Amino acid sequence: MEFKLTEEQQDIVNAVREFAEKEFDIDYARECDQQHKKPVELFKKAADNGFICVHFPEEYGGQGLGWFENALIVETLCRVDSTLGTATFLPKFASELILLYGNEEQKNKYLPKVTSGEWISSGMFTEPNHGSDIATSDTTAVLKNGNLVINGTKTFITNGELAYFGTTLAQTQEGAKHRGQSMIIIDDLQNRNGVSITDVGLKFGIRSSSTCEIAFSDVEVPEENLLGEKNKGFYQAMNFFNESRIEIAAQALGIAECAFDKTLSYIRERKQFGVPIGSFQALQFRVADMAAKIDAAKLLVYRAAWKADYDKPDPVFTAMAKRFASRVAVEVADEAMQMHGGYGYMAEYDVERVYRDAKITEIYEGTSEVQRMVIANNIIGKL
């Protein structure tokens, strides 16, 4: 068992870090956070450098690599800066659904546009009245004259105001609950008749990422925009989450490392009583605990990614990685603020921003409670 990266993987990490350190200006990161700016140009630059969707096949513009390499890229981006790193990798969100379930025409239409950075994508699952319960959907899609007519509302939608296209989960068989849901592609989201997009407002963290509510009023799309098999959308979403949660776990890992790196720099430079505060044993013990937690999270994240590449995504491994890494991100960021003292509470030192960015990883793409349910149900089984 090898506990080290291959030469190619290390080269990827080095190239991504070099890119991020060049492109991620700290003042710009603060500006994006404070003014809720969406730095979409970073997504395009990352795509130009081949860092977007590296786990896609080469015929669709990817690198033909795996989820492991993708996780390394996300981790490294967020380690350099939690705010801009998140804004750089999230704009391709949910495009994997088309890779998983699209026909060749759909794959050739959408995926090269995403990998090139030309199109931003979105996944529309959560509803105002149901939250984590995506097995229940008030959004409907009814077939009329060869078109699917969609009505309903989705909320907390990543990339809502930026995406050219998105995939939405809708009820296509009345009364069948999750057994009657389908996944549907909606093109030209920003200009399509019947689509209303509203920013959800100022968020606690990841303010450089677009989050919206999207309402559909008699929105018509061609029947061929159905993604995969009809009435299998819920199961498609579950399989997608088994993969995408690896990416969020990697994001959390990178954010934890970002907070840790800032803390190490601070305690080596900050002096009290004539010596660097890093010489105080109380702080040294905290650093030791932070490092151990980060390394444990890294092993879980890397294992989940490895499993996805060499066999298939394992819901238990993925859920463990996502739940643990997200908790570590919050705990390490919290310790970072504490070890900075009063300065940690100030925007100038950035650790409060990292803390705010960390918290979302425990909530989106399945809350920590949902991850525990997945883990327990797979271990215990149905009683």
- Number of Cβ within a 10 Å radius of residue 109: 16
Contact residues for 176 (Cβ-Cβ < 8 A; gap 6+): 231
Q: Are 365 and 248 in contact (CB under 8 A)?
A: yes
271 phi-psi bin (left φ>0, alpha ψ -120 to 50, beta other): beta
Q: Which residues pair with 154 in a beta bridge?
A: 214
Phi and psi (nearest 5°) for 188?
A: 45, 50
Write the DSSP string, 59-124: GGTS-S--HHHHHHHHHHHHHH-HHHHHHHHGGGTTTHHHHHH--HHHHHHHHHHHHTTS--EEEE
Residues contacting 60, CB < 8 A, separation 6+? 53, 99, 107, 108, 111, 112, 115
Distance of CA 162 to the CA centre of its chain: 16
8 A C-beta contact, residue 276 and residue 269? yes
Q: Kindly state the greatest CA–CA separation across the chain.
A: 79
31, 243, 365, 369: which is the annotated catalytic residue? 365
Q: Are strands 140-144 and 147-158 parallel, antiparallel or unpaired?
A: antiparallel
In 3D, which of 74, 31, 78 has the Cα closest to residue 54?
74
> Is there a catalytic annotation at residue 365?
yes
* Catalytic residue set: 365
